[in-house]
Chain A
Amino acid sequence: MPKESTTLIYGTNLSGYRIAYALGKLGYKTVLLNRGSYVDEIKNQVLSQLPLDLCWACGHMPQRMFIGLGAMQVFYNSDILEVNGSAGNFKVKVKKRDPYVNNFICTECEKCIDVCPVDVTVDGEQRKACYVHREMAWENIYQIDETHCTRCGECEKACPTGALKLDRPEEIVEINVGAIILSPEFDEPDENDLALFGWKKFPNIVKSADLARASLSTNFTQESFVRPSDGKLPKQIAIVITPQFNQKGIEYESYNASAQAIYRANKIKEIVPEIDVTIFCREYRCFGKGHCRMYERAEKNGVRVIRTQSISIDEIPDHNISIKYEWGNSHKEQNFEMAILIFGQKPPQQMEKLKKICGIEANEHGFCKLEPFTCAKTNVPGILAVGEFTAPKGNPETVWEGYGPVREILRHLGDKKIEPPKLPQLKNVSKEIPKIGVFICSCFGSFNEKINLENLANRINSIPRVSKVEIVEGCCTPSTIQSTASKIKESGVNRVILAVCTPLQKLMKFRKTVTMAGLNPLLSEFIRLREDVIQVHDDPEKMESKAFALIHAAASKLKNAQAAPPPMDKMGSTAMIIGGGITGLEAARYLSEMGFQSDIVEKTDIIGGRAAILSTDIEGHEFKPYLDNLIKDVNASKLITVHTQTNIINVSGYAGNFNVSLTKTGEDQFELKPAIVIIATGALENKVDIYSYGKDARVMTQSDLEQKLSQINNGHVAMIQCVGSRNPNRPYCSRICCSQAVHNALLLKEKGVDVTLFYRDMNLYGFKEDYYWQAIDRGIKFIRFDQHNYPKLTGSDDSLQISCSDYETGDELKISADYLILSVGIVPDIQNNEKLAKMFNLNLDDDGFYDVESCACPYEDASKRLMKPFELSSNGVFPVGLAHSPRSLIETLLMARQAAGKASVVLPKPMMPPPNAMYVSEVDADKCVGCGLCVGVCPYNAREIDPVKKIAVVHPFLCESCGACVVACPSSAAFLRDHREEQMISSIDALLAV
């Protein structure tokens, strides 16, 4: 039986969206099951932990795009009922009920609201039974309140596009799919789970996620953190990281709880410095990129961080909050006017159901169990689980998991079904005199009520070169796109102005309309008639003259417009991987299994890297068999070439077309032409010379200890964490030392060795926290010390004398030990990183690791790059693994897979349009004098002076069409196709003519 080529995605977490995106790009169809009635009704992780209070377009944009292309189908109010069959040929029974308003054809005219006769007051807010759900700033969701709606049917009659239908019966459908992705959302702790913290019991205790969601459309401002009880600004705020104090098993702490707390504290402090902000936690876990720096900033801002083993929260008069906490051997108490809770993640509530329907297994924590060393494979072939369904996760991991399993999914899919629609033949109008057609959208008649479109049309008729003015119903629903396109065609114009609405959501539709009429979109302009005129002003006369001015300016701009095809550039199909460690090998194997050729460049004479000396990790992963297997596969693959003892000497080119010169010791220089580059150069262990390390053989690092573990069978071992790190010189956490130390401590303890562990914060995150409790149970002693008061080695005769003052009481403690083990952490290979970063035009972060914006932390820096295709946002270079940031081996493998997954989305394409812009900056060769000013101002290194012709050239792949070069150019040689100098000037003239 041939395999199906559709994939079913259950749930709307970010991984699921990313998988849909990746598959859509590869030409496979996906069906997404959303249990809610609109896009974000069920909150996923991003909307729950989001520390940056920004919009979240990356989940929505692909959805809109792929629904439009027919590559994606979304079922709302849906659920999975039954799964039969096996990988490649699943038969899935699902139920679904379409939403009342199909927002894909809704034009947001709001006629339905105008005619709705039912007034409702909910939470003090007056609205109709038909209303806009305004939780998300970027999309208006029209809804019908089922409890109040009288089903009079007025709204349905009023709807001009047929988007609104009251009769939406539940249907049960059977779909055939090749693979099933389980990506249900994050489960927020509820009232009962947070009972210890008084949430919902006391009014002035709020969840951080609620603050984030409330501020989505306004940004986080002073109004965002007023006391709910009286609307006043609190003078003291407590921030509590609840999973660290809650009963075990209720909620799990994810990647960014601590970061979220510190981020929130910083924000509050920076908006109103007078507010006292105190964070309560047990451990401050700041292992993400830049998180330690955030902590330092908080210290400067005067945020207090109290580390305590337990707290209790109560209300005191005036709805104030009192927090009692353990300190030393006594209790302390402090009062606050408001408390913000940073919560963790509950075990997934969908687990039981999915276990029954899909046959998957749960782990001991109630999350979905995965096969070891994989990032998504469950025990059932063809069913994959991703994102927060498998463990408490941070946003970066969740996003990466969207690309990681692409290879695994494709194994179960048949031939592709979706072909991108063919572009209609575009007319060549270069020899014609400009004839401008103005098409004014009436939004199905709703604009007429606010502004006299007839008058406007008459005035526009007088604009020179305008040969046609017509009022159309719209150009954003399938039928109106068709009708407007044919009206444009009939009118015989060769330039088009669409006076319509927001391009944010509809730009593609406008472009489609113009393209269907046989014109290049460069010959069109869009006016935001609704957002810039109709909805924001009241005076009809002024509205009309503003609309006229805007259209006049657009017409002047258009008369000089010239058509041109979007630039295309060839895309190679091979990859180069720098570094033959486990990360690089994993990426190479992934790519070879996808059918792509790759070259591994390794400077030493063997591959395998540092993983070869690792044995197991705290979770029991055995690395040796995995690595051996990996090396075997790499050596056996015909698609992978390994170049050992090879160094890179020069790099030129850009994404899709790199040119790399290399030398191999003892051989001639050679060249590679990869399309994408994966940097997996790893990092180094920190070298320290304190605590007599190197002088006294009894003082070792954790990795030294691992080699000697079999020789230590009794006595007392002391360990010190954060040696030489998390200080002003190296303000970052190496993420793996705590689990390594506890792992070694547990192994020693098993043999009867006493272990004392000095630490600042135990970074055992997620499920790893279990091992901390295990270590305490087994009698391993944990002693916390302060950043400014590290333990001291006071004597080293028969035994090592270590003294330390207690974090809370300040009492001096003295222990004697036979061995002292230092957790020294990971340092970047600065020299190498700087060299490669320079060659590939990458940035290093403040700590010396690679910093590629959208790679760094998809939610932290990537926001500015949301509008770009994800897979080329780092311009074809993907730093992964330790080269990017400290992380465990398993996390490193995920990074390798996501980079290879992203690469395999672009490598099959022979030609690619520039990823960043539709029309890029260009050079008029006749005018350019080669002064090079434009090269200096370009933020993307997209311009250079041609060494032969001595004039500027642009690499379209790197250009983002900002126009900085255009302004800098003293001889007007640089230009942007859609914003030429003469176009701009004449549109300013026209704008002000009336």
Chain B
Amino acid sequence: MNDIKIVAFLCNWCTYTAADLAGTSRLKYEPEVRIIRLMCSSRIDPVFILKALMDGADGVLVGGCAPGDCHYSKGNYYARRKVAVAKTIAESMGINTERIRLSWIPASEGPLFAEVVNEFTEKIKELGDNPTKNEVYL
């Protein structure tokens, strides 16, 4: 098995800041995760998730503010719908939907960020290589 790759789309205000906090607190977590910052988790386009999976990611993590705490009032709810759309399409493409995860991680919870990353990495390692990697085309 090759090294796995996980893409994390994080909202600027909560999860990206939680990752910052994990960093400043020097918490250790699995290095397979690669972060892309978005202003809001609602900026996640289902295309981004699918593109990442087709490009060779083994898992996609979307991180947003906790329900009710979105910096943009309700962006995280939009994100939830978009992730649901992406999962539906992924399924029809033969991608295990467990490779796509949406997590609410508040800005003050650095340890939770590390925990989610570790757990998700574990899960992806269990699932193994993304079998559709570089095989499906839209």
Interface residues of A (CB under 8 A from B): 54-55, 108, 134, 137-138, 140, 216-219, 501-504, 528, 530-533, 535-539, 542-543, 546, 549-550, 553, 864-865, 867, 917, 937, 939-940, 960-964, 966-967, 976, 979, 981, 984-985, 987-989, 991-993
Chain B residues with CB under 8 Å of A138's CB are 21
Please tell me which one of the listed residues A108, A503, A504, A963 contacts residue B39 in the complex, with CB atoms under 8 A apart: A963
CB distance A991 to B34 under 8 Å?
Answer: yes
CB distance A976 to B43 under 8 Å?
Answer: yes
With both beta carbons as reference points, the residue of chain A lying nearest to B40 in the complex is identified as: A962
CB distance A976 to B39 under 8 Å?
Answer: yes
Chain A residues with CB under 8 Å of B69's CB are 864
**Beyond A528-B23, A963-B42, A991-B7, is A550–B108 a contact (Cβ under 8 Å)?**
no
Chain A residues with CB under 8 Å of B31's CB are 533, 536-537, 539, 542-543, 546
Check B38 for interface membership: any CB of A closer than 8 A.
yes
Closest CB of chain A to B4's CB: distance in Å? 11
With both beta carbons as reference points, the residue of chain B lying nearest to A552 in the complex is identified as: B34
CB distance A536 to B52 under 8 Å?
Answer: no
CB distance B75 to A55 under 8 Å?
Answer: no
Closest CB of chain B to A983's CB: distance in Å? 11
CB distance A987 to B19 under 8 Å?
Answer: no
Chain A residues with CB under 8 Å of B82's CB are 967
Chain A residues with CB under 8 Å of B101's CB are none
Distance A531 CA – B29 CA, assembled complex (angstroms) = 11
CB distance B108 to A939 under 8 Å?
Answer: no
Interface residues of B in 94-116 (CB under 8 A from A): 106-111, 114
Please tell me which one of the listed residues A530, A939, A987 contacts residue B74 in the complex, with CB atoms under 8 A apart: A939
With both beta carbons as reference points, the residue of chain B lying nearest to A533 in the complex is identified as: B31
CB distance A217 to B48 under 8 Å?
Answer: no
With both beta carbons as reference points, the residue of chain B lying nearest to A868 in the complex is identified as: B71
Please tell me which one of the listed residues A137, A219, A865, A987 contacts residue B36 in the complex, with CB atoms under 8 A apart: A987
Please tell me which one of the listed residues A219, A530, A962 contacts residue B106 in the complex, with CB atoms under 8 A apart: A219
CB distance A967 to B44 under 8 Å?
Answer: yes
Q: Which of A218, A537, A543, A988 has the most chain B CB atoms closer than 10 A to its own CB?
A: A988
Chain B residues with CB under 8 Å of A553's CB are 34, 36
Chain B residues with CB under 8 Å of A217's CB are 21, 25, 108, 110
CB distance B34 to A549 under 8 Å?
Answer: yes
Distance A939 CA – B110 CA, assembled complex (angstroms) = 28
Distance A318 CA – B80 CA, assembled complex (angstroms) = 48
Chain A residues with CB under 8 Å of B17's CB are 504
Chain B residues with CB under 8 Å of A984's CB are 36, 45, 48
Please tell me which one of the listed residues A219, A864, A961, A981 contacts residue B108 in the complex, with CB atoms under 8 A apart: A219
Distance A988 CA – B43 CA, assembled complex (angstroms) = 14
Closest CB of chain A to B77's CB: distance in Å? 10
**Beyond A137-B108, A988-B55, is A537–B28 a contact (Cβ under 8 Å)?**
yes
**Beyond A217-B25, A219-B109, A550-B34, is A962–B42 a contact (Cβ under 8 Å)?**
yes
Distance A234 CA – B70 CA, assembled complex (angstroms) = 33
**Beyond A543-B31, A992-B5, is A979–B72 a contact (Cβ under 8 Å)?**
no
Nearest 10 A/B pairs, CB to CB: A531-B23, A963-B43, A962-B40, A962-B72, A537-B31, A542-B31, A992-B55, A964-B42, A939-B73, A992-B56
Closest CB of chain A to B79's CB: distance in Å? 9
Chain B residues with CB under 8 Å of A55's CB are 107-108
Check B127 for interface membership: any CB of A closer than 8 A.
no
CB distance A536 to B29 under 8 Å?
Answer: yes
Interface residues of B in 14-63 (CB under 8 A from A): 17, 19-32, 34-36, 38-40, 42-45, 47-48, 51-52, 55-57
**Beyond A531-B24, A535-B23, A988-B48, is A961–B29 a contact (Cβ under 8 Å)?**
no
Chain B residues with CB under 8 Å of A531's CB are 19-20, 22-24
Distance A960 CA – B47 CA, assembled complex (angstroms) = 23
Contacts A530-B23, A533-B31, A537-B30 given; 12 further ones with Cβ under 8 A? A502-B24, A504-B20, A528-B35, A532-B35, A536-B29, A553-B36, A865-B71, A963-B39, A964-B42, A985-B48, A992-B57, A993-B55
Distance A108 CA – B23 CA, assembled complex (angstroms) = 12
Chain A residues with CB under 8 Å of B71's CB are 864-865, 960, 962
Distance A532 CA – B73 CA, assembled complex (angstroms) = 27
**Beyond A542-B31, A939-B74, A988-B48, is A962–B26 a contact (Cβ under 8 Å)?**
no
Closest CB of chain B to A597's CB: distance in Å? 34
Please tell me which one of the listed residues A219, A504, A536 contacts residue B27 in the complex, with CB atoms under 8 A apart: A536
CB distance B34 to A967 under 8 Å?
Answer: no
Chain B residues with CB under 8 Å of A528's CB are 19-20, 23, 35
With both beta carbons as reference points, the residue of chain B lying nearest to A984 in the complex is identified as: B48
Q: Can you show 15 pairs from A to B with CB atoms below 8 A apart? A: A54-B108, A217-B21, A531-B22, A536-B22, A536-B29, A538-B28, A553-B34, A867-B13, A939-B73, A961-B39, A962-B43, A964-B72, A964-B78, A967-B78, A979-B43
Please tell me which one of the listed residues B23, B43, B72 contacts residue A532 in the complex, with CB atoms under 8 A apart: B23
Distance A319 CA – B7 CA, assembled complex (angstroms) = 50
Closest CB of chain A to B102's CB: distance in Å? 15
Closest CB of chain B to A552's CB: distance in Å? 10
CB distance A502 to B23 under 8 Å?
Answer: yes
Interface residues of B in 75-91 (CB under 8 A from A): 75, 78, 82
Closest CB of chain A to B119's CB: distance in Å? 15
With both beta carbons as reference points, the residue of chain B lying nearest to A853 in the complex is identified as: B73
CB distance B24 to A963 under 8 Å?
Answer: no
Chain B residues with CB under 8 Å of A963's CB are 38-40, 42-43
Chain B residues with CB under 8 Å of A550's CB are 34-35
With both beta carbons as reference points, the residue of chain B lying nearest to A110 in the complex is identified as: B26
With both beta carbons as reference points, the residue of chain B lying nearest to A537 in the complex is identified as: B31
Closest CB of chain A to B30's CB: distance in Å? 8
Distance A985 CA – B70 CA, assembled complex (angstroms) = 25
CB distance A536 to B23 under 8 Å?
Answer: yes
With both beta carbons as reference points, the residue of chain B lying nearest to A938 in the complex is identified as: B72
CB distance B51 to A985 under 8 Å?
Answer: yes
CB distance B28 to A536 under 8 Å?
Answer: yes
Closest CB of chain B to A128's CB: distance in Å? 15
Distance A991 CA – B37 CA, assembled complex (angstroms) = 12
Distance A991 CA – B55 CA, assembled complex (angstroms) = 9
With both beta carbons as reference points, the residue of chain A lying nearest to B70 in the complex is identified as: A864
CB distance A988 to B51 under 8 Å?
Answer: yes
Closest CB of chain B to A906's CB: distance in Å? 22
Chain A residues with CB under 8 Å of B43's CB are 962-964, 966-967, 976, 979
